[in-house]
Structures are given as C-alpha cells and as structure tokens.
Amino acid sequence: MIKFNKPYFSGKESEYIQQVIANGHTSGNGFFTEKCHQFFQQKYGFKKVLLTTSCTDALEMAAMLLNIQPGDEVIIPSFTFVSTALAFERQGAEIVFADSRPDNPGIDEDKIESLITPKTKAIVVMHYAGIACDMDKIMSVANKYNLFVLEDAALAIDSYYKGKPLGTIGHLACFSFHETKNIQCGEGGMLAINDIQFEKRAEIIWEKGTNRAEFFRGEINKYGWVDTGSSFLPSEITAAFLLAQTEDIEKVQKRRIEIWNNYYLALKPFEGKHFQLPLIPDYATNTGHAFYLIMNSEKERDLFIRAMQENGIQTSFHYQSLHKSAFYLKSHTDKNLPYSNRYSECLVRLPLYFDVNENIIIDKISRYFLIS
C-alpha cells in the first residue's frame, strides 16, 4: 500500500534531541526555540515569531491578540479546517462564512466586501494547498474598513505572493508543523506577528499570561500574572526536532515541487473530461504541499478513491464545508455556498511526500481513466 502521507526525517532530529537532554533544559523557550525563531525571522522576514504546540494554538493566540469579543463578526472561508473557525468561536465571535473561488478552493476575494457589516472585526484567509489568495484585494478591503487580516498559512510554508512570503502580509499569520506538512515536528505550529502593536502582548499570552519572557531576558526583576493566556509554547524537544527539519527545507521543497509537476504534466491529458487540475495564479508560487483533482461529482470522486485503494494507493478527500457542519447548524440555517460544497464533495488528494514513487501512482491513475 502506498500511504497517503509519510513524514520526512532529516536524520538530525535525534542528534538535536540528545543535545537538549545534554543541555538539561527540556521545557520551552530555550536554545532550540530561539534558533527556530531566528531561522524563520531571517529567512522570511517576519517581524516576530513564536513557536506553538500546534497551528490551532497559534490561531487561538491570534483571536486573543485581536481582542475578539462576543458579538464581533469574523469572516472566514467555509472550506477550511475547523481550527480556523474554532479559535474565534471560542472567543464568542459570530462566524461569517465565505464561499470559495470557482477556480480555486481559496476564499473568493471578490465576495468578501459584501459580507462586511459594522460588527466585522477581522478577515481570515486560508492559503489552500499553499497557493496564495489575492492578498492585494484582501488588504485593500481590510484597509478600507479598518479590519484586521489573519493569514491561516498552515499549508503555506515557503510559499510566496508576488515575491512576498505568505504569512508576512496580514497583521498576523499562523503556520502548522503537523506531520502532514512539508516540514514537521509531529505536532507543532507558529504564530507570526507582523504588526508591532501585538509583539509584547503576544509573548505574554504565549507565556500563560505572565511577563516571564521579559524576566528571562533580564528586563524585569520578577514576573507575574498580567494578562490572559495559556501554555502555548512547545518543549525544547519539539523545537530541536523542528530545527533539524528547517535545515533541509530547500531539499524538501525541491523534491515536493518535482512530484507536483510530474503529476500535473502526466495527468494534464485527462483534464476536462474527468477532472479539473489545480490552478496556480500568476501572482502565486507552488509550495508542493498538496496535489489534488476536482472530480465531476461526488460519486465519481468516491469511485476513484475506491479504485485507487484496490490498486494499493491511499488517496483522500479534504475539508467538509464548515457552514454545513452539525455544530454550526445547531444555531444557524444552511448557507448557499456552492463552490465550498463542490470542493467538499469532489476534491481528492494524491499521495505527496518526499520519497513517494509518483510514477507508480501516475501509471495506476492513467490506466483508470483510460478504461473509464
């Protein structure tokens, strides 16, 4: 069986974890955490980053930093992972779901303005498969109405919009280092802070609502409880694992993009009759996170998944539209978001990881569509 996902290992993870043990400091915010922070800030130009135990935690930190209150409205794509919405729902926000684009699972940038009301406080965009949303359109609307923008860049490490790294454009951004991502540490995430007004408070929320980070830097002589927060920072063991991964990011990206391109070129002849291929706008780069097909119907998608399983290949659908979830429908009526529904019903992802044999998969898929 060719698995749908297989995490990459550089070989240095255990070496760095041994260094953590030798250093005698395994809790968070130590040497390896700082090394990771330096890497991401220097390579991508984030003003400040904070490692977190997950992207979900980074999103929850962002909701706290934006001071989301009950009754505030937050615009979020329906076609996304539940954490994108959950972080704001926990703060008491009213989630206003937006549809996807007809040509791309990302948020329909042209529909955002029509969803804004006097209660709107923030726009959250998710760069699906690491492919950038049109950030000029989004930031223009946000600036017009004085709204915050959060980039859910869980899938978008090392991806760019018009030459700018994703996650550096909005006021805040969140990344995932879950084992399914391009670089990973099992469970992990990161909050990127691009607006200086959030920098100091972000550290406090990160450190359980205390000014402990300032204390360890020698800026104050004692620390205490000064704000809300939680234990969002990962251990040094997690940070050491991630640092080993960052050292191979260019190698990993090169191979993943090679696999993505091989899929695209080989399956292009079948496009139109059987499925739609991913679209990468001219303002975006390909990060090689995911390769997907958009089938003509849910029935065809399910038949394809079953056939691949019988041929020893695990494939997978993706997000289920949040506006149709049981939780949301407890207190809301079903919204008409046809493109989000289409991607939930028709999108299927192919295996994509560093050492996958994509040629076997291409051969099986080609045979399937030649027969069907």
- Residues 6+ positions from 213 with CB-CB distance below 8 Å: 29, 203, 204, 206, 207
What's the confidence (pLDDT) of residue 158?
98
**How confident is residue 220, by pLDDT bands cut at 50, 70 and 90?**
confident
Q: What are phi and psi of 21, to 5 degrees?
A: -65, -40
CB 159 within 8 A of CB 166: yes
| Cα torsion through 336, 338, 339, 342, rounded to 10 | 130
Q: Which residue has the tokens 């694992």?
A: 241
What's the confidence (pLDDT) of residue 256?
98
Task: Give the amino acid at 83.
Answer: S
Distances (CA, A) of 299 to 23, 79, 105, 303, 345: 56, 20, 19, 6, 9
pLDDT 10s digits, 165-212: 999 999 999 999 999 999 999 999 999 999 999 999 999 999 999 988
**How confident is residue 371, by pLDDT bands cut at 50, 70 and 90?**
confident
Is the pLDDT score of 282 beyond 80? yes
Residue 124: both structure tokens together: 């959250």
What residues form DSSP beta bridges with 160? 165
Task: Give the amino acid at 54.
Answer: S
Is the pLDDT score of 218 beyond 90? no
Asked which of 27-31, 146-150, 218-222, 285-289 is least confident by mean pLDDT, the reply is 218-222
pLDDT 10s digits, 129-178: 999 999 999 999 999 999 999 999 999 999 999 999 999 999 999 999 99
Is the pLDDT score of 216 beyond 80? no
> pLDDT above 90 covers what percent of the chain?
96
The mean pLDDT of 289-312, rounded to a whole number, is 98
Is the pLDDT score of 84 beyond 80? yes
Give the chain's mean pLDDT: 97
Q: Directed axis angle between helix 298-310 and helix 358-371, to 10°?
A: 120
What's the confidence (pLDDT) of residue 276?
97
Q: What is the set of domains in the chain, with CATH numbers?
A: 13-246 (3.40.640.10), 249-371 (3.90.1150.10)
What's the confidence (pLDDT) of residue 212?
85
Asked which of 73-87, 171-185, 207-221, 295-309 is least confident by mean pLDDT, the reply is 207-221
Which has the closest alpha carbon to 318: 293, 353, 296, 288?
293
What's the confidence (pLDDT) of residue 213?
82
Distances (CA, A) of 348 to 8, 94, 315, 343, 351: 22, 30, 7, 9, 10
What's the confidence (pLDDT) of residue 338?
98
CB 287 within 8 A of CB 218: no
Is the pLDDT score of 217 beyond 90? no
Is the pLDDT score of 222 beyond 90? no
pLDDT 10s digits, 15-43: 999 999 999 999 999 999 999 999 999 99
Q: Considering only the C-alpha atoms of the chain, give the largest distance between any 2 of them, rounded to a whole number of Å.
A: 74
**How confident is residue 219, by pLDDT bands cut at 50, 70 and 90?**
confident
Query: What Rg, from alpha-carbon coordinates, does the chain have?
Result: 21
The mean pLDDT of 305-319, rounded to a whole number, is 97
Helix (H) or strand (E) holding 48: strand 48-52
